Amino acid sequence: MDNHSNKTQSGIKENILPFFLLVLINLFVGSMVGLERTILPILGEESFGIASASAALSFIVSFGFSKAIVNFFAGNLADRIGRKRVLLIGWAIGLTVPLLVIFAHAWWVVVAANILLGMNQALTWSMTVNMKVDLAKPDQRGLAVGFNEFAGYLGVALMAAISGYVASSYSLSPEPFYIGIGLVIIGFLLSLMVQDTEQHVKMQARQQNEESGSLSTKEVFKRTTWKNRNLSSSSFAGLTTNFKDGMAWGLFPIFFASGGLSVGQIGTVVALYPAAWGFFQLFTGLWSDRIGRRKLIVTGMFVQALALWFILLVDTYPLWILGAILLGIGTALVYPTILASISDVAHPEWRATSMGVYRFWRDSGYAFGALTAGIIADALSVNWAIGLVGALPFLSGLISMIRLEETLNKKPQ
């Protein structure tokens, strides 16, 4: 009996081993995206002769829409069949991604691989963050999400740098993607060792003991998208953050290449942005548990916009590095904080579904950002695309300043 109660105790310290196993798993989850971050925009131009920016960015559009749609179902699926099963399904899908890119004979195969990568990321990343929130106490959610996102984006950054180095030493493909096969196998084996967090969710639901615990998926979608001012403000902030990232993912390598940087230098700048994003989330998540969510979300949206405009205005390698770090810090201020804010507001029994809806809107930003940036870049220029996209996080900062309430210690609804 005591053993059972210990198993369902809330708190990071009380669940230290399963918590940090999930942190480690998300390092491998993020690495799957980092593998492509430096290479694919250049691969499209050099190996497949993709001259149009919107065509080159099609792999991000396919990734973004796939991840967004599966996110929506992943949260609800997790509430129904359990987090661990969904996590393992995600890794099984992930194995197809490096294999398809290695054997790709045409660009559409790379685009198809990124549909599967989006599914892999939606299922695995969603589950690692949900399981950490399940294990944490309410006043540790920012820290829990911060650790999750730190590990994921550290993986993105490390693999963006490593894949750039491997590509410059050998070739753009297949050598870097051999690493991807190893990442999937290790991620799957580690996930087999994870304990499901279903008991923690049931315990938290019993503690809430509220009628609002049972809601239809349709009602949760409405609340998270527009009906609840806190959830909907968070959804828009997430969408504009990843709108900017979809543009950065696709256009930064092209922008910096036109500025005279080598593939190695581009790899460094492209890696430093998610590295700063990942590293500072360790602190911003914890910080939001201390001072609240609203201040960090508003500030972070403004910093993202200003960093993009700064990158446009400067033209030297050291200053681009500074701009990439600032952009990472701005993103770090909002990324774990929004997820913590969602988990503050949502009832435990529909929290994973609400976070799935939020992640649906957030990650559709990748696709909308890449699509819009590609069209603007083709019609005007890459510089115009970066500058105009910068206006969206600025607008979101203003909306969050007006509509978003402080959600820390707020009673779930």
In-domain check, residue 412: no
Query: Mean pLDDT throughout 313-329?
Result: 96
Question: What pLDDT does 168 receive?
Answer: 82
Looking at the domain assignment, is residue 210 inside a domain? Answer: no
Residue 210 confidence (pLDDT) = 54
Q: How many CB atoms lie within 10 A of CB 35?
A: 26
What average pLDDT score do residues 36-46 get?
75
Whether residue 2 has pLDDT greater than 50: no
Instruction: For residue 410, tell me if it sits in a domain.
Output: no
Distance of alpha carbon 410 from alpha carbon 267, whole angstroms: 42
Q: How far apart are CA 206 and CA 290, in angstroms?
A: 26
The pLDDT > 90 percentage for the chain reads 60
Lowest-pLDDT choice from 48-62, 276-290, 331-345? 48-62
Domain membership flag for residue 62 = yes
Give me the residue label for tokens 């995206």. 33
Do the domain assignments include residue 92?
A: yes
Region 169-175: mean pLDDT is 84
366 contacts 263 by C-beta, under 8 angstroms: no
Within a domain: residue 75? yes
- Interval 358-405: pLDDT, tens: 999 998 998 899 889 989 999 999 999 999 999 999 999 999 999 999
- pTM flag (> 0.75): yes
pLDDT, the chain, mean? 89
Decide: helix, strand or coil at residue 195: coil
Q: How many residues are there in the chain?
A: 413
pLDDT of 3 > 80? The answer is no
Model confidence at 5, in pLDDT bands (50, 70, 90)? very low
CATH code, domain carrying 229: 1.20.1250.20
Which range, of 117-121, 210-214, 243-247, averages the lowest pLDDT? 210-214
pLDDT at 57: 76
What average pLDDT does the segment 190-200 reach? 90
**Confidence grade of residue 354 (pLDDT, cut at 50, 70, 90):** very high
120-156 pLDDT tens trace? 999 999 999 999 999 999 889 999 999 998 999 889 8
Examine residue 223 and state whether it is found in any structural domain, yes or no.
Answer: yes
pLDDT number for residue 6:
47
Nearest to 340, CA basis, from 92, 113, 138: 138
pLDDT at 4 over 60: no
Q: Residues 181, 113, 392, 356: is their CA dihedral positive or negative?
A: negative
Residues 227/357, Cβ–Cβ less than 8 Å? no
Paired tokens of 232: 């909907």
Residue 183 has which token pair? 């990442």
Domain that holds residue 90: 12-199+215-403
pLDDT computed for residue 274 by the predictor: 82
Is 342 among the domain residues?
Answer: yes
Q: What is the pLDDT of residue 232?
A: 96
pLDDT in tens, 72-102: 899 888 888 889 999 999 999 999 999 998 9
Q: Phi and psi of 351, rounded to 5°?
A: -65, -45
Q: Are 110 and 49 in contact (CB under 8 A)?
A: no
**213 pLDDT higher than 60:** no
Segment 235-243 mean pLDDT: 97
| Per-residue pLDDT, 388 | 96
How far is 219 from 234, CA to CA, in rounded Å? 17
* Dihedral of alpha carbons 405, 406, 408, 410, sign: negative
Domain count, the chain: 1
Establish whether the linkage from the previous residue to 174 is cis, with ω within 30° of 0: yes
